[in-house]
Chain A
Amino acid sequence: MAGLLSPEEWQVVVLSLKVSGVAILIDLPLAFALAWLLARGRFPGKVLLDAIVHLPLVLPPVVTGWMLLLAFGSNGPVGRFLLDTFGLGLIFRWTGAALAAAIMALPLMVRAIRLSLEEVDRRLESAARTLGAGPWRTFASVTLPLALPGVMAALVLGFARSIGEFGATITFASNIPGETRTLPLAIYTALQIPGSEGDVARLAIISVLLSLAALVISETLTRRSGQRKAGHAL
């Protein structure tokens, strides 16, 4: 297996997995909080928040990348703060690629978690309350376990989306070998070089396999949760 890919290609795969893994870890708490607000909250401006959360899904990724540059670049307010306070640089760094992937995956994750939260039967939460569980325990022992398949699906979907992220990453974090050159960027780079069709094909096949695996896992999780819910109807 190791012989199938060159060291540079392995580096690309490992970097892609690292960037995507960090991206969904950043996203998880944020996506859960947003999904909760959108599923359960009642507040003015909810429609607007919903729209803002979904923006990265419909904006041209290059626009998202440019906005990230404005906010998180060395001269952007957030970027300046992160660099001065934590020494955390984002531009031209894999951390920047992870941030771009996180922003692009966020809407998908919020959607998946929100759906699973909306499917949780609130009447079961009422039952837990009458049995002596306070709001937090009700959340931990009833709401969260019932929404868990959706949360897992969100992680897988977000991961797959991050693996494929291209436009915002190349705009914001650039295309630096070993640092921000993830799978799609490596494929794009190889395409620019005449005679490297074999490299393109190998990287493309890896992309397809990773995405396929993610979709199968996510679909299985969703279906399992559906079965469980159908099983308890009444």
Chain B
Amino acid sequence: MPFDVDIALQRGSAHIAARFRVGPGLTALFGTSGAGKTSVLNAVAGLIRPQSGRIAVGGDILYDGAARLHLAPEKRACGYVFQDSRLFPHKNVRDNLLFGWKLAPAARRWMALEEASEFLGIAHLLKRMPRTLSGGEMQRVAIGRALLSGPRFLLMDEPLSSLDEERRGGVMQVIERIRDELALPILYVSHDRREVDRLADHVVTLGPDGARVTPGIRTSDGPAARRAALRPVPSTPHSP
């Protein structure tokens, strides 16, 4: 099971309970704002510590309240793409991309800088500073930085929300390719129904009474296409 999460979290006065086990592919964490989606993501990344429960990804236990196990974020090999990209403002695009790559053990580096920058269409930006990038470019660099850190899974927190409609399509295609070509398990936070419908293999709906798991509908392609590895970027009615 890529994601096996069963945790209780306290954020301020809000109590969040999340329990889900989902298979490979992209899992959308869906729910209204304030439902605790980002908190669950932060708990999986190790940035916050749940009150109790257990988190396992791909069979590796990252947190176990009963065993007092709480792996530090840097030991979890997760690629986290934040809503606000969080590029390092004092480093150029190249150094941002290589930040995690340099820290990853050689065995875990399954992608090279050239490969990632071509995949994401950011090869021409390598010397630029983050402040000179557009929102879409920033988010693609942030995705590249996460991929280059050699992650075993990806966490994405509304990666499209700061982008205008035009840029969304491009980044969404990139996410689809990561899901299908790189076959990386993805936990994807969103409150946008259309995004979830298009991208998700599984949908975890967070509500006040816990989490509910339903299969995704994947509007952009059928299950057959999903299984076909290494296919070109699909041209779908949704793509610009």
B145 touches A (CB below 8 Å): yes
The contact string, 1 if C-beta is below 8 Å from chain B, for chain A 109-146, is: 00000000000010110111111111001000110011
Interfacial residues, chain B to chain A (CB-CB below 8 A): 45-47, 72-74, 76-80, 82, 84-90, 99-100, 103-104, 129-131, 135, 138, 145-146, 149, 155, 162
- Given known A-B contacts A132-B103, A229-B89, A127 and B82 have beta carbons under 8 A apart: yes
Give the residues in chain A near B135, CB-CB below 8 Å. Answer: 234
Whether B84 and A234, one on each chain, are in contact in the complex, defined by CB atoms closer than 8 angstroms, is yes
Whether A132 and B100, one on each chain, are in contact in the complex, defined by CB atoms closer than 8 angstroms, is yes
A42 touches B (CB below 8 Å): no
Selected A-B contacts with CB under 8 Å, 20 pairs = A121-B86, A124-B86, A126-B73, A126-B86, A129-B74, A130-B46, A130-B73, A130-B74, A130-B76, A130-B80, A130-B146, A130-B155, A131-B149, A132-B77, A132-B149, A133-B100, A228-B90, A229-B89, A232-B89, A232-B131
- Given known A-B contacts A123-B84, A130-B80, A133-B74, A232 and B130 have beta carbons under 8 A apart: yes
Question: How far is B79's CA from A123's CA once the two chains are assembled, in angstroms?
Answer: 15
Question: How far is B103's CA from A126's CA once the two chains are assembled, in angstroms?
Answer: 15
Residue in A126, A131, A142, A229 whose beta carbon sits within 8 Å of that of B47 in the complex:
A126
Residue in A124, A127, A146 whose beta carbon sits within 8 Å of that of B80 in the complex:
A127
A231 touches B (CB below 8 Å): yes
- Given known A-B contacts A130-B74, A131-B145, A232-B130, A145 and B84 have beta carbons under 8 A apart: no
Question: How far is B206's CA from A168's CA once the two chains are assembled, in angstroms?
Answer: 64
Whether A130 and B47, one on each chain, are in contact in the complex, defined by CB atoms closer than 8 angstroms, is yes
Sample of 18 further A-B pairs with CB below 8 A, known A130-B78, A234-B85: A121-B86, A123-B86, A126-B86, A127-B80, A127-B82, A127-B88, A128-B88, A129-B72, A130-B46, A130-B155, A131-B80, A132-B74, A133-B74, A133-B103, A145-B90, A228-B90, A231-B129, A232-B130
Question: How far is B45's CA from A123's CA once the two chains are assembled, in angstroms?
Answer: 13
Whether B89 and A228, one on each chain, are in contact in the complex, defined by CB atoms closer than 8 angstroms, is yes
- Given known A-B contacts A130-B73, A132-B74, A234 and B103 have beta carbons under 8 A apart: no
Give the residues in chain B near A127, CB-CB below 8 Å. Answer: 80, 82, 86, 88
- Given known A-B contacts A133-B74, A234-B135, A128 and B162 have beta carbons under 8 A apart: no
Residue in B72, B89, B99, B138 whose beta carbon sits within 8 Å of that of A131 in the complex:
B99
Question: How far is B96's CA from A124's CA once the two chains are assembled, in angstroms?
Answer: 12
Whether B47 and A124, one on each chain, are in contact in the complex, defined by CB atoms closer than 8 angstroms, is no
Give the residues in chain A near B80, CB-CB below 8 Å. Answer: 127, 130-131
